[in-house]
Amino acid sequence: MSTRADPVLGPAAGVQAGATAALVRAGRSVPRGLPGEALVVAKQCLLDWLGVALLGSREPLSAVLAAELVDQGDAGRQATLIGRGDRASAATTALVNGAAGHALDFDDTHMRMIGHPTAPVAPAVLALAEREQRSGADLVSAFVSGVEVECRLGVLVGPSHYARGWHATGTLGTFGAAAACARLLGLGEEGWSYALGIAGTQAAGLKGVFGTMCKPLHAGKAAANGLLSAALAARGFTSNPEIVEAHQGFAATHAESLGGLEALETLEDRYLIRETLFKYHAACYLTHGVIEGALLLCRRHEIAPNNVATVDVEVGPEVLDVANIEAPRTGLEGKFSLRAVTAMALLGDDTSDPAAYSDERMAASELIALRDRVRVRADETAPASGSVRLRTTDGRELVASVDTTVPVADLDLQQQRLRAKFRALAGPVVGEDRAEALAEMVDHLEKLDRVGELTRMCVP
């Protein structure tokens, strides 16, 4: 425990000192030459995010941000806006690309942080690496550093952080982006501590805006603020170097308690990036288990929509805070509606297609009719990814539960699925040939001399 008496810079009462320092050590310990599976999954994360960001660059919210931040004149032309070809300062690029990469809510997720690990880190480190003319190997190692830090911070603050209403992608993601950029800028231990301190006082994002354009904005702001945090620290800007455990610091204001450092010690020899979960449905990940359950029942029993009498969806209580919009009016809201996505799956909609989640589809009479036969309730004993209980008009009762919280063991199969997803997302934006060349470039990213070679491929 710290013996410092300073009520501002010392740790909160009863809190173990050293949490921020432990995160710094974890981030700085990531080697430039990553071991096998960590490197494979890191490149899968970046490929997946690039595909989602390319198509997300065509979303209205991306156009609004670009119009406000870029089209009116950004003096810096340091980095490339994915899917557009415009150039702007690294911070502006990180913000716009970050929002685009989360616009479809189709990017990866992680149970340790209860959020999206790549969405805030990739756009920050990509923009900075382009500005600094760094290599692909530098980019990958910095990216992994950021993911390891934000996920370990998620372990420390626990589920209470998310339960309080904070969107971890925006909050923990700001720390992750700052760590990645601190690594890329070659900061020392003190610089890292200040970078995380600057990040901690900017970390924000409320779950109350889920289903609106502000949710993707969280990822963009986290990327930009994290980049700014590291850049300021590199210039000598100071902050509280114990921001996580400080009196009135991040944990004290954003969580019920701060976990002990022994929780991090058990993870010292593990790369948490290996636990990344990828999306194959373009909706909130907390709905994926239910979507898979509904699809499984359709495959097994050849259920027609007009044969569905009622559907009972049971999920953990925490899911209702996020994905229980009962009557979604927009496609964005539909991504956070267990009732809507269950109806879509039973109707045979392609839930992997971002275009399927449209305002028009949410207003369709057939979807509304089936959606209104879906009942959602919380149950603390429900399976981790929820369950689906369907009753048919001929009296049958069918139940399915699919666990979507476990990382895939077969990385080759995961690569095949992600390549197919990438082609489907990137092809319409940059063309099929360029999409394939871009995927190949990411496959060999650690051998790339300059990140700018990659970003030049990310434009129409």
- Stretch 266-290: mean pLDDT, rounded? 95
Q: Residue 364 above 60 pLDDT?
A: yes
Neighbour-count burial for 240-256, b at 16+ CB within 10 Å, e otherwise: bbbbbbbbebbbbebbe
The pLDDT score that the predictor gives to residue 11 is 60
Q: Comparing 66-70, 142-146, 359-363, which segment has the lowest mean pLDDT?
A: 66-70
Percent of the residues in the chain that have a pLDDT greater than 70, as a whole number = 95
Q: Using 50, 70 and 90 to split pLDDT, how confident is the model at 5?
A: very low
Average pLDDT, the chain: 94
71 vs 47 pLDDT, higher one: 47
What the block records as the tokens of 138 is 């530098």
Percent of the residues in the chain that have a pLDDT greater than 90, as a whole number = 90
What the block records as the tokens of 155 is 């372990």
Give pLDDT tens digits for 143-185.
Answer: 999 999 999 999 999 999 999 999 999 999 999 999 999 999 9
The pLDDT score that the predictor gives to residue 46 is 98
Give pLDDT tens digits for 88-106.
Answer: 999 999 999 999 999 999 9
Q: Which domains does the chain have, with CATH numbers?
A: 19-278+425-455 (1.10.4100.10), 285-400 (3.30.1330.120)
Structural contact between residues 339 and 326, judged by C-beta atoms closer than 8 angstroms: yes
Give pLDDT tens digits for 421-458.
Answer: 999 999 999 999 999 999 999 999 999 999 999 999 99
Distance CA 204, CA 218 (A): 7
Q: Residue 334 above 90 pLDDT?
A: yes
Q: Using 50, 70 and 90 to split pLDDT, how confident is the model at 12?
A: low
The pLDDT score that the predictor gives to residue 13 is 52
Structural contact between residues 390 and 311, judged by C-beta atoms closer than 8 angstroms: yes
The pLDDT score that the predictor gives to residue 1 is 32
- Stretch 391-397: mean pLDDT, rounded? 95
- Stretch 201-211: mean pLDDT, rounded? 96
- What is the residue whose two structure tokens read 């200040």? 194
The pLDDT score that the predictor gives to residue 224 is 98
Q: Residue 115 above 50 pLDDT?
A: yes
Whether this prediction's pTM lies above 0.75 is answered by yes
Nearest to 426 by CA among 410, 444, 448, 442: 442
The pLDDT score that the predictor gives to residue 10 is 55
Q: Using 50, 70 and 90 to split pLDDT, how confident is the model at 71?
A: confident
H or E, element range at 250: helix 250-254
Give the contacts of 335 (CB within 8 A, at least 6 positions apart): 105, 211, 282, 283, 284, 287, 341, 357
The pLDDT score that the predictor gives to residue 369 is 96
The pLDDT score that the predictor gives to residue 9 is 53
318 vs 56 pLDDT, higher one: 56
The pLDDT score that the predictor gives to residue 424 is 96
- Stretch 255-282: mean pLDDT, rounded? 94
